Amino acid sequence: MSSNSLTITDNRTGKQYEIPIENGTIRTMDLRKIKVADDDFGLMGYDPAFTNTASTKSNITFIDGDKGILRYRGYPIEQLAGKCTYLEVAYLILHGELPTEAQLKNWNWNITHHTFINENIKKVLDGFHYDAHPMGIFISTVSALSTFYPDAKNIFDAENRHKQIYRLIAKVATIAAFAYRHRIGLPYAYPDNDLSFTGNFLNMMFKTSELKYQPNPVLERALDVLFILHADHEQNCSTNSMRGIGSSHVDPYSALAGAAAALYGPLHGGANEAVLRMLSEIGTVDRIPEYIKRVKEGNFKLMGFGHRVYKNYDPRARIIKQVADEVFEVTGKDKLLDVALELERIALDDEYFVKRKLYPNVDFYSGIIYKAMGFPVEMFPVLFAIPRTSGWIAQWEEMLLDPEQKIARPRQVYLGSDERDFVPMENRNPS
Ligand code: SDX
């Protein structure tokens, strides 16, 4: 008998089954041989929200939630955030290795020269009401991109796939900036290929009458670090959506629009916007106790706290706090930071949060920095989607090339009505 296995006794039949253990998991399909009769379907696993289900093998991102560890392709996030640009990390996430100087130069050139969007996309943008939420614009416009690149459907043609990858990483920043400019009624500021990825994004966001926008280097660098921290996070809700939608072999633009829609939710990437609204609602340090009380009564969630995987301090939140100090040197400190710091101090000492292992996550401090940099709160989930695009695409490509993967189609436990006959209208009752 292999020691690396489970021996399961089905007490309904007394039969024993040996189930192999691989990578700390069992294949749920192996449970199907556990039956009470030959025509029995066999056992399934039941795991709502996949709290204990591995949907894939992956080589991209490693998280240890108890130790607060995050690595992209084996490199600790702290080292990448301290030494790389976002595009360098996007290359690593997609290709599996840090680029050589020549590879990075070629990569940067290709992304930079795909930042322009088809002029007709401006008609899509102009169709939105002036105060449309930029994340709604982002999702719709990324989806619209699929109609401009019909060849993107050739997902198993590697050269074609890589061209779409350049386009997506580059154009999501342009779409994000154009959505913002549409919202505030400013003319679109076109990409400037002389600038870095983040410098150009700041240019497209904030350029006004100057001939050439000069990004503040501290803010440009801060955005690089924030984008690195948001680039990937293994099988989170939106990545699971990207993989699930992509498993039908749809083009990557349509799949990414779906992933962005998942990210938009306040429990996920929409949390950074919700954190700012929460901190603004609390307003001052002296009002924090009443909110902590409401949390404990179960009628208020502390946005930016808690995580499905991290049961320790989110390592990204720790780095973001350091970035905040550098940004505030340039922009001036935001009073909401005092509220956030006091909220964190109280929560980390409070048994309610300690027992539930609720720590600040990536969204808790990022919004304060974005606000100080001049981004409106509605742009915060869009600022999450821009860098997460490289993670979504890397996970999508890994899924496509994984021989074990096929169209995602979970099972269910049916507890509805048994077979029954049609009821004519005259015999139906309101109940
Ligand atoms: C992101 O998955 C990822 O990797 C996501 C992400 C990424 O990079 O892709 O890291 C980005 O989405 C970060 C999370 C941003 N969301 C928020 O900050 C929203 C607030 N957080 C919660 O909604 C919650 O913590 C989740 C959604 C993040 C995690 O929820 P879980 O894992 O389903 O945990 P749970 O809801 O089962 O909570 C366990 C307990 C519950 O209490 P009891 O029922 O046991 O009494 O903790 C409580 C929850 O009520 N709880 C909170 C809380 N989060 C959980 N109580 C108050 N405030 C909170 N924020």
118 within domain boundaries: yes
The alpha carbon of 281 and the centre of ligand 1 are apart by a number of angstroms equal to 20
pLDDT for the residue numbered 334? 85
Enclosing domain of residue 186? 77-405
Residue 114 in any domain: the answer is: yes
Q: How many CA atoms lie within 13 A of 170 on its CB side?
A: 24
pLDDT, tens digit, 9 for 90 and up, residues 169-203 = 999 999 999 999 999 999 999 999 999 999 999 99
The DSSP string of 35-60 is -SSTT--------GGGTT------SS
Report CA 81 to chain centroid distance, whole Å: 18
Average pLDDT over residues 325-350: 91
26-34 average pLDDT score:
97
Answer whether 77's CB lies under 8 Å from 319's CB.
yes
Contact (CB, 8 A) for 51 and 59: no
Task: Please report whether residue 321 resides in a domain.
Answer: yes
pLDDT of residue 27: 97
Find, among 256, 164, 176, the residue nearest to 223 by Cα.
Answer: 176
Question: What confidence score (pLDDT) does residue 183 get?
Answer: 93
- What mean pLDDT is predicted for residues 10-19? 97
pLDDT tens digit string along 135-144?
Answer: 999 999 999 9
How far, in Å, is the centroid of ligand 1 from the Cα of 266? Answer: 10
Residue 361 C-alpha to ligand 1 middle, in angstroms? 9
- Ligand 1 pocket test: pick from 308, 313, 350 the residue with the most ligand atoms within 8 Å of its Cβ: 308
Report yes or no on 135 lying in a domain: yes
Residue 317 lies in a domain: yes
Ligand 1 proximity of 361 Cβ (cutoff 6 Å)? yes
Q: Give the integer Cα–Cα distance in Å for 44 and 411.
A: 8
Catalytic residue among 268, 286, 338, 418: 268
Annotate 101-155 with DSSP letters as a single string. HHHHHHHHHHHHTT----TTHHHHHHTS-TT--HHHHHHHHHHHHHHH-GGGG-T
> What's residue 12's pLDDT?
97
Q: Give percent of the chain with pLDDT exceeding 90.
A: 91
Q: Mean pLDDT across the stretch 374-390?
A: 96
% the chain with pLDDT above 70: 100
133 is catalytic: no
Alpha helices in 283-416 (DSSP H): 288-296, 315-331, 335-349, 351-355, 362-372, 380-400
Question: Which helix (H) or strand (E) covers residue 62, if one does?
Answer: strand 61-64
What is the C-alpha separation between 249 and 270, in angstroms, rounded?
A: 27
How far is 57 from 11, CA to CA, in rounded Å? 32
Place of tokens 């001052």: 284
Summarised one tens digit per residue, pLDDT across range 237-287 is 999 999 999 999 999 999 999 999 999 999 999 999 999 999 999 999 999
* From 272, 301, 389, mutation site for ligand 1 pocket: most ligand atoms within 8 A of C-beta: 301
The reply to whether 307 belongs to the active site is yes
1: confidence class by pLDDT, cuts 50, 70, 90: low
Candidate list 307, 325, 418, 421, residue with the active-site label = 307
295 Cβ inside 6 Å of ligand 1: yes
Report the nearest-CA residue for atom 32 of ligand 1.
308
CATH of the domain at 159: 1.10.580.10
Q: How far is CA 158 from CA 95, 153, 170, 242, 392, in A?
A: 13, 12, 18, 19, 17
Residue 431 has pLDDT above 80, yes or no: no
| 200 CA to centre of own chain | 22
pLDDT tens, residue by residue, 100-138:
999 999 999 999 999 999 999 999 999 999 999 999 999
**Is 268 a known active-site residue?**
yes
Q: What is the mean pLDDT of residues 202-224?
A: 97
**Residue 173 placed within a domain:** yes
Cα distances (Å, whole numbers) of residue 336 to 213, 294, 339, 369 = 29, 20, 5, 10
How many domains, the chain? 1
Three-class secondary structure of residue 65 per DSSP: coil
Check residue 335 and give its pLDDT.
86
Question: Does the predicted TM-score (pTM) go above 0.85?
Answer: yes
Which residue's CA is the nearest one to ligand 1's atom 48? 356
Domain annotation covers residue 70: no
**Placement of tokens 């994984």 in the chain:** 402
pLDDT tens digits for range 44-64: 999 999 999 999 999 999 999
Higher pLDDT, 214 or 325: 214
Asked if residue 91 is part of any domain, the answer here is yes
Largest Cα–Cα separation, the chain: 81
The pLDDT score that the predictor gives to residue 312 is 86
